[in-house]
Chain A
Amino acid sequence: MRFVEEKTAGRLLLGAGTLYGALNSLAEKGWIAPCSTQSNRKKEFLITPQGKAVVQKELSRLQKLVVLAEEITEDAQNPPERKERAE
């Protein structure tokens, strides 16, 4: 929770109840799997290969979105000159 808060400069605050629900949801989808040992009661998870593939897919989607946004803003700043129709 502290990690998320620090990395997002306080933009995203993650409550324990919300985090618990999110972890259970990710585990149900098979994107993470518990890795706690008997001696360690603490809830610990590891990302699964399926989870890694989903992260990669989401990362790629976000990168495409950034490229598209940059293209649009560049076009808005430097509009192409209008070509006069030759009579």
Chain B
Amino acid sequence: MSGVAVAGVGNAYRRDDGAGVAFAALFAAEVAEVRDLGPIAEPLDLVGRLDGVDTLVLADAARTGAGAGRVLVCELTLDEAGYGLPGRADAAAATSTHGIGLERALALAAVLGRAPRRVVLVAIEGESFGDGDGLSAAVAAGISSAIPRVRRLIGGRPGV
């Protein structure tokens, strides 16, 4: 598990928006030798935390209309063209500090030669994004059930 790190994106005081942060904490606790990079409040900050990271598990809350607690896991692999994310050479890609999102942060990391070889995206569907802490029951259950899936994907053995 050398070189595997997990980072959660989101605000734990906005209910299910903290799903990514909760996933990261649980994943690092249950899977040995996985480093938790800490909550990522600002995507640019992620770039400075990637030294020595070969595989990054990046978890965030999602709101797509799917059922609460549903977890989408997909993998991005770095090659000469980056991660194969859709190109955004339009103005919006560079509009503002608000606009420096994860996609641009990963693109910047790739240019700087510090991008992980693999990025595993974990998108957790939330249902409540109001004030306060604590996850919805369905989201908490979804996180627990996603841990072994992600561990299998990155090649970790149970108990490792």
B and A form one assembly: no
Give me the interface of B with A, judged by CB distance under 8 Å.
none
Give me the interface of A with B, judged by CB distance under 8 Å.
none
